[in-house]
Amino acid sequence: MKTYSKTEFRERLEMKLTNKRNTTLEDTTDTDLFYAICSILKDEINQASVETKKTNIERKKRQINYLSMEFLIGRLIESNLLNAGLLDVCNEVLTELGRDPKKVYSEENDAGLGNGGLGRLAACFLDSIASLGYLGNGFGIRYRYGLFEQRIVNGTQIELPDNWLQEVYPWETRKIDEAVHVNFGGEVSSEVDEHGNFKFTYHNQETVLAVPYDVGVVGYDNDVVNQLRLWSAELPSNIIDHGNYKNRLEHMQNVERISGFLYPDDSTEEGRFLRLKQQYFLVSSTIQTLIKQFKEKYDLPVTQFHEYHCIQINDTHPTFGIPELMRILMDEEGLGWDEAWSIVTKTFAYTNHTIMQEALEKWPVSQVQKVNPRIFMIINEINERFCREVYEKHPEMRDKIADLAVISNDVVHMSKLAIVGSFSVNGVAALHSEIIKDHTFNDFYKIQPEKFNNKTNGITHRRWLMTANPGLTHLINEAIGDAWHKSPQELTQLMRYYNDESFLNKLADVKLENKRVLKEVIYQKTGIEVDENSVFDVQVKRLHEYKRQLLNVLHIIYLYNEIKRKPSIKIQPRTFIFGAKAAPSYHIAKEIIKLIHSVAQVVNNDADVDNRIKVVFLENYNVTLAEDIMPAAEISEQISTASMEASGTGNMKMMMNGAVTLGTMDGANVEIAELVGKENIFIFGLSSEEVINYQNNGGYQAEAIYQTDGRVKGAMDALKNEQFGRDFAFNDLYYHVLTNNDPYFLLKDFNSYVDIHLTAMATYQDKKKWNQMSLMNILKSGQFSSDRTIQQYATDIWKLV
Ligand code: GLS
């Protein structure tokens, strides 16, 4: 892409301001500046995108298509500027003009088209695919409303619609000429043609126009621009509603609802029909397009489709892609079942992101039939053929056929369909991939072990270090140069500074500065004044019982009670920072948010505490807020019940910014611990084997711990008595834990959690040691760059060259 001197960039900015915004540098607003910068960038992106497409066609490379119901891309301006090589010049020009670059960039609305880790992972992956120069596009839905905006009113979460498209979204290009029709519902009839083959015809279907909006995905310093294609549902213009305007309006609204909003659910089943329609809408529009482009681009028979295309499905949500590709290959391209199946099973690869039973998607047969009866027929046949194959080829598994079946008890099991129809099944961290093989999908592993593999998640170091933490980036560049920008594993070069006191002090200074920035954000957002010299202890992620925010709060209650018992007690001052959205219908999760606020209210205003503990809840946790939080974190709370967090990615973001993990041996924490060594991480709690063992064989009695352990009882009783809220405000939480025998092992892990905090705080007293731990985490974090992850997907699964 073109490089600009400061003068050239400024001139270009002036031109854009005049031509696009009808204003001048002298009297421009931040909004004008933002759009003018986007326009400069967009010119560069479009140019590079044309070149990328041209080279790809010439080279006939295999393409990866990443299908996901979620892309949590956040803001793009800084990351696009960085990748295009324009961030420094843009920052300098804006600063010289007396403008604050951060303020200008904050004109962009976060594109919150995802719930949490799964959606953010998809966004990081696109960045890495482009930055490594691979041909790969993302396909998702252009939700009119993204993940809800969280407001807290009197400690209670309120959800507001996320109107992110209120202003023009500068990065997208509507491509109406590439729109396709997606058909829902209706009936199917079949007849036998002259060759004795079945021919299927569809009747009375509802046709929806899928309109693509393309967002360029800019590679880092390599002139590559891939695409994220987001589909929007519209009423086709040729639909006649018999001249009835009201009918047409209603019809239009019904259709547009398909891409109306993102389901605000993370890790729980969402049994809504609309969600199912969204899934089919995504896969049908995408796969039709891929086939069409394949035929146009290469003059090859469709039987070679899989040689040029691989489809990675991000969890089971796009699994209908499997029967949809079968449908197109058979009903539209005229292939027989076996030929079509052979192509499909060489095209699809499936990533599993959770083992939580309630999150493994299951859809009633009647609903799948209603979405598209032909798709159901194909799923049914996939199931029958698969069961027959197991019966014939694996006699030892005959009594397991009912468990393996894709359809059982009138329910379609999406993960089973995904496994049967894919050539690769991967988990997202080493431990998680083992659990999948040994437990969740053990029967499948026994018959198709070759499909199973692990690809530990990663995060893009460009966004999560280079743009989010310029202070640290600068320090690292000074120390080891900038080779790590393209090869993040080079961060290990920082080992040279492990005993360098002056470097370690500079590292601490950078952290302090980042804490000051976050302190200001906290003050602006909550009015709470925190001390930048206190330890910033951070837990930011979706609110879910298995993530155990409640354990964190119980510990804070314990500390508070210790201070009340003995006000002169010496404790290391700490600021506990939370950020978390709860699914709107998840009552217990919302109660936990309320509890955090009540505890904050009491603790922050108690004279006995004397500012030694502060509790802060930052509302509306999103990508942009995360970019302020990660660089300032010192303790990274990753305290899920072992075995339940598939990977986690916030753990990687904080590690990369020098926080030390305090967590369980769960998800990717296990690999973090291996890399940094046990002495550079604080591990506590049950192991995953212990948890699974209790779950399978019983033997855990929460009530007994509660009755006999004073520390546990003291913290739990605070929920029941009126210490943090009148009218027994937290009775629900108290009884929820005890009457369900504490399914997330809060009480079992409580003491080791309290103790590990004591260890961590004792360690913190030794500044040099702490800075060394922090450095060790940073220098090992290159392993968790999504560049490493994508390299592994590209080599092992996608076979890209
Ligand atoms: C998730 C897992 O819960 C996370 O542990 C994981 O890091 C993420 C990306 O693989 O996927 N699964 C899910 O449904 N939502 C997630 O964030």
Average pLDDT of the chain to the nearest whole number = 96
653 part of the active site: yes
Position 383 pLDDT exceeds 70: yes
463 part of the active site: no
448 and 469 together in one domain: no
Position 272 pLDDT exceeds 90: no
Closest residue (by CA) to atom 12 of ligand 1?
Answer: 353
Average pLDDT of 375-391? 98
d(CA 124, CA 623): 12
465 and 453 together in one domain: no
Per-residue pLDDT of 758-800, as tens digits, reads 999 999 999 999 999 999 999 999 999 999 999 999 999 999 9
Q: Which atom of ligand 1 is nearest to the CA of 542?
A: 17
CB 391 within 8 A of CB 398: yes
Please, which contacts does 704-708 make with residues 24 or more away whose CB atoms are closer than 8 Å? 705/747, 705/748, 705/750, 706/738, 706/747
* Test site for ligand 1: of 428, 548, 586, 793, most ligand atoms within 8 A of the Cβ: 428
Q: Cα of 692 to ligand 1 centre, how many Å?
A: 19
Using DSSP's 3-state secondary structure scheme, residue 214 falls into strand
DSSP 8-state secondary structure symbol assigned to residue 205: P
Is 13 contained in some domain? no
Closest residue (by CA) to atom 7 of ligand 1?
Answer: 648
Q: Give the distance, in angstroms, between the CA of residue 677 and the centroid of all CA atoms in the same chain.
A: 27
435 and 327 together in one domain: yes
Q: Give the distance, in angstroms, between the CA of residue 793 and the centroid of all CA atoms in the same chain.
A: 17
Nearest to 149 by CA among 628, 626, 621: 621
d(CA 743, CA 128): 38
Using DSSP's 3-state secondary structure scheme, residue 448 falls into coil
- So what's the pLDDT on residue 358? 86
421 and 527 together in one domain: no
Position 88 pLDDT exceeds 90: yes
Using DSSP's 3-state secondary structure scheme, residue 249 falls into helix
Is 510 contained in some domain? yes
CB 324 within 8 A of CB 280: yes
Q: Which atom of ligand 1 is nearest to the CA of 117?
A: 17
For 4, residues 6+ apart whose C-beta sits below 8 A from its C-beta are: 12, 86, 89
Percent of the chain with pLDDT over 70: 99
Is 172 contained in some domain? yes
Position 9 pLDDT exceeds 70: yes
95 part of the active site: no
- So what's the pLDDT on residue 10? 98
Average pLDDT of 301-329? 98
d(CA 313, CA 750): 38
Average pLDDT of 184-188? 97
d(CA 382, CA 421): 8
d(CA 51, CA 315): 32
Is 572 contained in some domain? yes
d(CA 763, CA 769): 7
Q: Cα of 353 to ligand 1 centre, how many Å?
A: 5
346, with CB counted inside 10 A (0-12, 13-18, 19+), is middle
Q: Cα of 118 to ligand 1 centre, how many Å?
A: 5
Per-residue pLDDT of 740-752, as tens digits, reads 999 999 999 999 9
Position 302 pLDDT exceeds 80: yes
- Is the sign of the CA dihedral 628, 105, 581, 691 positive or negative? negative
Position 528 pLDDT exceeds 70: yes
Set 319, 351, 473, 649: catalytic member: 649
- So what's the pLDDT on residue 531? 98
499, with CB counted inside 10 A (0-12, 13-18, 19+), is exposed
Is 775 contained in some domain? yes
Q: Which atom of ligand 1 is nearest to the CA of 116?
A: 17
325 and 465 together in one domain: no
388 part of the active site: no
Position 240 pLDDT exceeds 70: no
* Test site for ligand 1: of 270, 275, 354, most ligand atoms within 8 A of the Cβ: 354
Q: Which atom of ligand 1 is nearest to the CA of 315?
A: 14
* Test site for ligand 1: of 66, 118, 460, most ligand atoms within 8 A of the Cβ: 118
Q: Give the distance, in angstroms, between the CA of residue 294 and the centroid of all CA atoms in the same chain.
A: 30
- So what's the pLDDT on residue 241? 66
Nearest to 679 by CA among 758, 770, 755: 770
CA distances, 533 to each of 258, 511, 537, 765 (Å):
49, 10, 12, 12
Q: Cα of 556 to ligand 1 centre, how many Å?
A: 27
Per-residue pLDDT of 577-607, as tens digits, reads 999 999 999 999 999 999 999 999 999 999 9
CB 616 within 8 A of CB 528: yes
> 561 is written with which tokens?
């009670």
Please give all residues whose beta carbon lies within 6 A of any atom in ligand 1, as ranges. 116-118, 121, 266-267, 353-354, 359, 428, 457, 645-649, 667
Is 616 contained in some domain? yes
Q: How many Cα atoms occupy the beta-carbon half-sphere of 234 within 13 Å?
A: 16
Q: Cα of 564 to ligand 1 centre, how many Å?
A: 39
542 and 500 together in one domain: yes
- So what's the pLDDT on residue 320? 98
Position 628 pLDDT exceeds 80: yes
Q: How confident is the model at residue 194 (pLDDT cuts 50, 70, 90)?
A: confident
Q: Cα of 650 to ligand 1 centre, how many Å?
A: 10
Q: Cα of 552 to ligand 1 centre, how many Å?
A: 20
Length of the chain: 801
- So what's the pLDDT on residue 177? 97
d(CA 43, CA 14): 15
Closest residue (by CA) to atom 4 of ligand 1?
Answer: 648
Set 590, 653, 748, 788: catalytic member: 653
For 380, residues 6+ apart whose C-beta sits below 8 A from its C-beta are: 407
- So what's the pLDDT on residue 298? 86
449 and 489 together in one domain: no
Q: Which atom of ligand 1 is nearest to the CA of 121?
A: 9
CB 86 within 8 A of CB 78: no
- So what's the pLDDT on residue 648? 98
Closest residue (by CA) to atom 9 of ligand 1?
Answer: 118
Set 75, 142, 144, 353: catalytic member: 353
Is 597 contained in some domain? yes
Q: How would you label 698-718 residue by residue, b for 16+ Cβ within 10 Å and e otherwise?
A: eebebeebbeebeebeebbeb
Average pLDDT of 521-547? 98
* Beta-sheet pairing, 613-617 with 574-579: parallel
Domains held by the chain: number: 2
Q: Cα of 119 to ligand 1 centre, how many Å?
A: 8
Q: Which residues pair with 191 in a beta bridge?
A: 199
Q: What are phi and psi of 664, to 5 degrees?
A: -95, 165
340 and 262 together in one domain: yes
Per-residue pLDDT of 553-583, as tens digits, reads 999 999 999 999 999 999 999 999 999 999 9
Q: Which amino acid is at 231?
A: W
* Test site for ligand 1: of 353, 547, 639, most ligand atoms within 8 A of the Cβ: 353
431 and 524 together in one domain: no
> 780 is written with which tokens?
């090992």
Q: How many Cα atoms occupy the beta-carbon half-sphere of 497 within 13 Å?
A: 25
Q: Cα of 669 to ligand 1 centre, how many Å?
A: 14
Position 412 pLDDT exceeds 90: yes
503 and 358 together in one domain: no
Q: Which atom of ligand 1 is nearest to the CA of 648?
A: 7
- Is the sign of the CA dihedral 528, 534, 539, 543 positive or negative? negative
Q: Cα of 789 to ligand 1 centre, how many Å?
A: 15
CB atoms within 10 A of CB 393: 9
- So what's the pLDDT on residue 246? 79
Position 326 pLDDT exceeds 90: yes
Q: Which atom of ligand 1 is nearest to the CA of 646?
A: 5
Q: How confident is the model at residue 536 (pLDDT cuts 50, 70, 90)?
A: very high
Is 88 contained in some domain? no
d(CA 675, CA 456): 13
- So what's the pLDDT on residue 269? 66
452 and 474 together in one domain: no
CB 304 within 8 A of CB 63: no
- So what's the pLDDT on residue 67? 98
> 749 is written with which tokens?
């892990």
ipTM for this model: 0.99
Q: Which domain holds residue 303?
A: 60-75+110-457+790-797
Q: Which atom of ligand 1 is nearest to the CA of 432?
A: 5
Nearest to 75 by CA among 44, 40, 112: 112
Percent of the chain with pLDDT over 90: 93
> 123 is written with which tokens?
């966004």
547 part of the active site: yes
Q: Which amino acid is at 18?
A: T
Q: Which amino acid is at 514?
A: N
Position 179 pLDDT exceeds 90: yes
d(CA 576, CA 556): 8
For 132, residues 6+ apart whose C-beta sits below 8 A from its C-beta are: 219, 787, 790, 791, 794
For 117, residues 6+ apart whose C-beta sits below 8 A from its C-beta are: 353, 457, 541, 542, 647, 648, 649, 650
* Test site for ligand 1: of 623, 647, 653, 672, most ligand atoms within 8 A of the Cβ: 647
Nearest to 511 by CA among 656, 637, 616, 657: 657
Set 413, 506, 541, 612: catalytic member: 541
- Is the sign of the CA dihedral 534, 540, 543, 549 positive or negative? negative
- Is the sign of the CA dihedral 715, 716, 720, 726 positive or negative? positive
Q: Domain containing 763 — which CATH number?
A: 3.40.50.2000
Q: Cα of 57 to ligand 1 centre, how many Å?
A: 35
634 and 600 together in one domain: yes
541 part of the active site: yes
d(CA 693, CA 406): 27
Position 37 pLDDT exceeds 70: yes
Set 542, 555, 736, 780: catalytic member: 542
CB 262 within 8 A of CB 147: yes
Average pLDDT of 41-63? 91
Q: What are phi and psi of 162, to 5 degrees?
A: -95, 95
For 155, residues 6+ apart whose C-beta sits below 8 A from its C-beta are: 593, 594, 597, 598, 601
